[in-house]
A and B are shown apart, each in its own frame.
Chain A
């Protein structure tokens, strides 16, 4: 597609539950990025993929967060045992090699 598609738009989970977010990158883009944006607007980088391979995961809190980009499937970001501080908007972006990132509409995750 011509746009990065993220689902769901809004996800509500109780503290301790699992949350799974999806992202379909733009066709032909080889890089996928996940960011967390909290109230203060700052983008926190989580993880990036080059095709289905993890490229950089220095931002991932690995004990609860995991992500995948498998061939012919949307990419996913999964949070186990969610905490209140996980409440944020999670953006996915994709880019061609050396090109600008194109963002999805984000998934608003609310942990109650």
Chain B
């Protein structure tokens, strides 16, 4: 089955800095990679996703890059703000198969004002 590794487990940055979270996956058949943000005590919310036919996708301060050859994808947050503080999860799934995404273990991002 799919295995998703996520690093780092904790990331502390100063407001205004950039933050990068990296994930690797094992199943070359995976072709859909969502990222979720979960604030304390709240539901995970999809913030950006990418499919395997593109290498990069951007939405304002958030971008995701995908390297299919190396089987890794990354979340980039620029100009971080205190409200970006949350746990971020990456996931990989093969929509043609079971549709069940495999989640990484999460990265706790702390943005210091």
Among B32, B46, B99, the most chain A Cβ lie within 10 Å of the Cβ of B99
Q: Is B92 an interface residue (CB 8 A)?
A: no
B100 adjacent to A42 (CB under 8 Å): no
A106 to B34, CA, bound (A): 19
Question: Which residues of B sit under 8 angstroms from A56, Cβ to Cβ?
Answer: 98, 100
The residue on B at minimum CB distance from A6 is B43
Q: Which residues of A contact B (CB under 8 A)?
A: 31, 33, 40-43, 45, 48, 55-56, 91, 95, 97-98, 100-106
In the assembled complex, how far is the CB of residue B108 from the closest CB belonging to chain A, in whole angstroms?
A: 8
Q: Which residue in A40, A98, A102, A103 is a CB contact (below 8 Å) of B99?
A: A98
**Contact count A vs B, C-beta below 8 Å:** 47
Q: Which residue in A41, A55, A95 is a CB contact (below 8 Å) of B106?
A: A41
A42 to B44, CA, bound (A): 12
If A41-B106, A43-B89 touch, whether A101 touches B43 (CB-CB below 8 Å) is no
If A42-B103, A43-B89, A48-B98 touch, whether A100 touches B49 (CB-CB below 8 Å) is yes
Q: Which residue in B32, B49, B99, B106 is a CB contact (below 8 Å) of A31?
A: B99
Among A45, A101, A102, the most chain B Cβ lie within 10 Å of the Cβ of A101
Question: Which residues of B sit under 8 angstroms from A43, Cβ to Cβ?
Answer: 89, 103
Q: Is B76 an interface residue (CB 8 A)?
A: no
A106 to B102, CA, bound (A): 19
B100 adjacent to A103 (CB under 8 Å): no
Question: Which residues of B sit under 8 angstroms from A42, Cβ to Cβ?
Answer: 103, 105-106
A3 to B60, CA, bound (A): 24
> 1/0 per residue B27-57: CB within 8 Å of A?
0000010101010001111100100000000
If A100-B49, A101-B34 touch, whether A45 touches B44 (CB-CB below 8 Å) is no
> 1/0 per residue B83-113: CB within 8 Å of A?
0000101000001001111110110100000
Q: Which residue in A41, A91, A101 is a CB contact (below 8 Å) of B101?
A: A101
